[in-house]
Amino acid sequence: MRLSLSLSIIYAANAAQALNYDPKSVLGVNDPVLIAKIEGYMPPICSSLYGDAQHWTDWSICSAKCGKGEQVRFLTNDAKKNLQSNGCEISIDKRECNGNECPQDCQYSDWPSQWSTCDKATGIQVQSREEITPVTWKD
């Protein structure tokens, strides 16, 4: 079965509150099968059918190039007919995924010039130096 022990603990901890359960209130739970179980409306046959990988398409690519994203998969047409005839209404499954590590927004190079000398002609002693355009990063 694809539900882990930790998710089963969430289910047990929330079973008493199933009538007032809001799926968004449990951070990290985005599995529609688990949510249906927690809310108490999944027929037992659905759980075993959903757990069989042959009923699902492959997972999509991660929606994020970097950082957290989402992957989805769908029931195959044959599985959808079989599951819906048993009262199982979920036809999409989602999970979190991580893309590559996100690059920094920008990365500055070393200062290319030294501090200027003070300008005593203006009566203000200010020093300045020049900055180069930020270094670009590659995907």
Would you say 126 and 93 are in contact if contact means Cβ atoms under 8 Å apart?
A: no
In a domain, 134, yes or no: no
pTM of the full structure: 0.44
Would you say 96 and 68 are in contact if contact means Cβ atoms under 8 Å apart?
A: yes
What's the one-letter identity of residue 68? K
Give me the percent of the chain exceeding a pLDDT of 70: 41
> What are residue 92's DSSP bridge partners?
74
- 111-125 tens-digit pLDDT: 666 666 666 677 666
In a domain, 41, yes or no: yes
In a domain, 122, yes or no: no
Q: Express the helix, strand and coil content of the chain in percent, nearest 5 each.
A: 35, 15, 50
Domain total for the chain? 1
In a domain, 79, yes or no: yes
Distance (Å, rounded) from C-alpha 128 to C-alpha 131?
A: 10
In a domain, 75, yes or no: yes
In a domain, 119, yes or no: no
Q: Which two tokens stand for residue 132?
A: 């180069």
In a domain, 109, yes or no: no
Task: Select from 39, 44, 38, 22 the least CA-distant residue to 88.
Answer: 44
Candidate ranges 17-21, 27-31, 37-41, 62-66; pick with highest mean pLDDT: 62-66
Domain of 26?
11-99
In a domain, 58, yes or no: yes
Would you say 99 and 67 are in contact if contact means Cβ atoms under 8 Å apart?
A: yes
For tokens 């757990």, the residue is: 51
Distance (Å, rounded) from C-alpha 129 to C-alpha 42?
A: 67
